[in-house]
Structure 1
Amino acid sequence: MADDNADAPVAVCFFVKIDDANLGSFDSCDGLGLEVVMETREEGGQNGMVWQLPTRIKWSNVKLTRPVSPDTQKVLQYFSKYASGFKRQTAVIEARTLDGKAVTKWSLSGVLPVKWSGPQLGMDSNKIAMETLELSHQGFLNAAG
């Protein structure tokens, strides 16, 4: 039997594009997921069970992190467009191997920027200067989306 994971990528980076804004690559992507919110109902006379009813879907925010680079300016330019108001957009996050081969991608609808965190700088710190971009969204688009 062949191992389906034999060609699975070991290391990936995440390329992010929001409508016409290419924000570059990020080292980590956290929060691609959803949760079905369940409501419980107890029925009189049925002591052995509780009904679990799906009510809605909650989409978690996506957090993208990378070392500060020239692409940091792209994120700041992207945020500057929102000074006059917010408009929901579509984002594509593409996972690629370190040699640039596409692994998979996620298309998100109704994207809004939630937060950008720049590096914590200090002369006494030898840590890599990192930035984090957080995006909210209203769901995944289908593959043709």
Structure 2
Amino acid sequence: MPDQPFAVSSLFQLSIGDQSIGSFTSCEGLGCVMEVEERAEGGVNEHVWHLPTRLRYSNVVLSRPLGRQTALVWAWLRRQVHEPVRMPGQLVVLGPDRKALVTWLLDGVLPVRWSGPGLDAEQSQPARETLEIAHNGFLEVTV
């Protein structure tokens, strides 16, 4: 048996600075890539040296059913248009028991894209919204 619960049915809570943006039901793109520079050394023919240069962080895409929390996203987007400020963000994964499993503290969060639902009365799916954010990296990851 594992000593930690697995995220079977998760929620993802996002806050920017001290402002909650709400809970999301889907999260994609949380990750990073180490960029490397290849260098060949004269006389060493069996390998090439891989030298780390920087970490590049991918954008995070969050989605959820449309609801009252949509106003929180819209208020944040409006503030960014009038006075863009990159603030730290916190992304918390909640397990089925609604307790925190993992928390990422993100540096310099900025909204990149918001998309609303395509509304169709003949669909039985809930209307969903999607928020894409960029960030400068992970300040801290806690379990």
TM-score by length of 1: 0.88
Q: Is there any run of 5+ residues in structure 1 with no aligned partner, and where? A: none
> Which segment is superposed worse, 6-15 or 90-99?
6-15
Q: Is there any run of 5+ residues in structure 2 with no aligned partner, and where? A: none
Per the alignment, residue 113 of structure 1 pairs with 111
Deviating runs (4+, > 6 A) in structure 1?
none
1:84 paired residue among 73, 82, 101: 82
**Structure 1 residues 6 and 46: CA distance shift in structure 2, 3 A:** closer
1:58 paired residue among 56, 59, 72: 56
Identical columns (%): 40
Aligned alpha-carbon RMSD (Å): 1.8
Once the two structures are superposed, what CA deviation does each residue of 1:100-143 show, in whole Å capped at 9, x if it has no partner? 22222111011111111111123444432111111111111135
**Structure 1 residues 6 and 103: CA distance shift in structure 2, 3 A:** closer
**Structure 1 residues 138 and 97: CA distance shift in structure 2, 3 A:** same
Per the alignment, residue 16 of structure 2 pairs with 18
Quick check: 2:6–2:95 contact (8 Å CA) kept in 1?
A: no
**Cα shift at 1:45:** 2.9
TM-score by length of 2: 0.89
